[in-house]
Amino acid sequence: MSRMSRTLLALRNFLALSESMAKAAGDQAWESLERLGEERAMLLNDLPADLDAHLLPAEQADARTIIERCQVLDEQTRSLAQARQNEISTLLRGLTPVT
């Protein structure tokens, strides 16, 4: 069995964080979502810009699948966060200004 490259391992960690973020958004755990997002951003900064050059040929298809899954999870997370922002905006519009 061959060892996984550091880059593929980082991508798998990125996926795990993306899954946790989607779950946090679904649970409306906004503080957790923010913390996970910061952690994922740090991991993203460590990923090479030219992923394919840092992946073994046998890992490239797996990496593409991971990236596609992350994109789906990101859309779910954004949608849930946007819905919450819309709820808050509606609540704020209904408040009477203090004079």
Residue-wise pLDDT tens digits, 39-76? 999 999 999 999 989 999 999 999 999 999 999 999 99
Quick one: pLDDT at residue 1? 40
| Structural domain spans, the chain | 6-92
Cβ atoms of residues 14 and 44 within 8 Å: yes
CATH number 1.20.58.380 is the correct assignment for the domain at 6-92: yes
Report the amino acid identity of residue 13. N
Q: Helix %, strand %, coil % for the chain, to 5?
A: 80, 0, 20
Query: Quick one: pLDDT band at residue 90, thresholds 50, 70, 90?
Result: confident
**In terms of C-beta density within 10 A (0-12 exposed, 13-18 middle, 19 or more buried), how is residue 85 classed?**
exposed
